[in-house]
A and B are shown apart, each in its own frame.
Chain A
Amino acid sequence: MADKLATLGFRSFLSHQFLKRSVAAVSCRYANTLSNETVEKHRTSTLAHDKEQKEEKKISAPAPPGLKHVHPEFLPNPTFYRRDRIKEKLERQDMYRRRAVCPIPEFYVGSIMAVTLADPYASGKTNRFVGICIQRASYGLRANFTLRNVVDNQGLEIRYDMYSPLIQKVEVLRLEKRLDDELFYLRDAPAEFSTVPFNLEAVSHPPGAPVPVNTTKVKLGPRPWHERWERRNLRGVQDLGLPEKFYEKAKKVAKPWEEYDLMLKYRTSINPQETDEVMDEVAEGFREIERKRRREKLEKS
């Protein structure tokens, strides 16, 4: 393009590299790409002169049934224009490689965790933060979780990228679940509900045992709040004690039919068949990490 402009007599300030970069930065939604189905069809077509040989599946055993709840970040983003099967697979491989170096234990929203992060400005070059996990979000390599704690009467929340190379160690001090998927309402609750001492001793969880559910019902402080919690169908909160008009309005804006909108659910989630495929691969990836670790141990000894 820069050459073309030059031939037309325009002085170009754009380098070739810049143009390349700017093109590569275009989202896959707008890029001039082929759909996965089309590419797959041509790859496996008998008429293609370089027909792709089908790779045999190396999966030795299917994944345990609950694995998608333990590691939800391995499931791809269900938004259709964000999907790219090759990118997803490459990201998963990077995730196994990261987990082989820095193990991330099983945890859920509501678990109490400690994260040690590399920090050049901290004494000892690392920073350890303890808190209750209030959210797990995003997909693939961008997966993250948020820890909350109250230090010196100041609420603190830190969002960690799970696969960030800065993370040195992730510990789970109390492995437990809460009644809700997100605990943002702790922001509007008294400090005692989100205060965790930094010297909390870890309680080990016996492998294979069911994860306990913490049924604490939080008593929220008075309004104003960060959100209209009466509209959120929260289970881990005591009676909010609001006037009747708040609940009437909440009922008015609720969308109870969405529970039965089968196609909405289908479009906004990864279907069971594909979930199983991904999770089988993930189980195999974890087994591979375990094998590698054992091999290294043997070599050392």
Chain B
Amino acid sequence: MTPGIRRTGIEKTMKMVLMISALASVLIVLLIFLFTAKEAMPAFREIGIGKMLSDTTWRPGNNQFGILAMIAGSGLVTLGAVFIGVPLALGTAVFLSEIAPLWVAKIVRPSIELLAGIPSVVYGLFGMVVIVPWVRMIPAPGNTGYGLLSASIVLAVMVLPTIANISEFAVRSVPRGYKEGSMALGATKWETISRVIIPAAKPGIISAVVLGLGRALGETIAMIMVIGNSVILPTPVTSNPLSIFLSRARTLTGNIAVEISYATGVHESALFATGVILFILIMLVNSSARFLMRKGARS
């Protein structure tokens, strides 16, 4: 074999190997979906997907497998986290990209990186010993501190770095010309930020929030440590509708983590079904974020 042929041989082989690695992610996603769906089939067949999605009673011992309460739990806790976390994250993003002097940014940015790196089990622990006792001090019947509010606060801190980083990137990607033009026309810095830069970065900011939503929906360990895990449709505990956040709840992720090790038969399959529904939900959220980002990039 001449060196030339060997070289081309290596080149061809490597190209093939690299292509396979590139497609590995697709294969893994496919494998995960198919495998989870296969394990979920008995539940879908025996219980019925419609019944699972519409029934609020989850009582595996009695063959009742409704996950509506968990969907509501996941939805509400995410909503709460967005409500608390988004203003903070967006403020931080604008602050970092437009306002903060370099030395301040050098403190703020690593702080956010560190928040992103802290393990979720540590957030859960912190939630258990700090946040839950705080929330317990709110006077309301049946308030134990464990519930949506504590979980939302913990989750808000956890998604803050995701939302802040991506929206900072979006704000920075606004062409400098926009800013200079606006300032040249006599606008103040704040007018430029609020009327030119933020509107121009809007698609990126929205997709940052949606991606944060996706992360929030997927969080598991920290949630089971603070949310109380009760399988109930959350309801306000007082006449104030906001007190719904003092209710305990369970997330879709928590349902899987809490029960998978004990489940057999249809119960186990129903947990895989919970996984399939969570998977589809997050796929929808993430692809809408990507769609928004592309739309933003085009316009």
> Does B associate with A?
no
- Chain A positions near chain B (C-beta within 8 angstroms): none
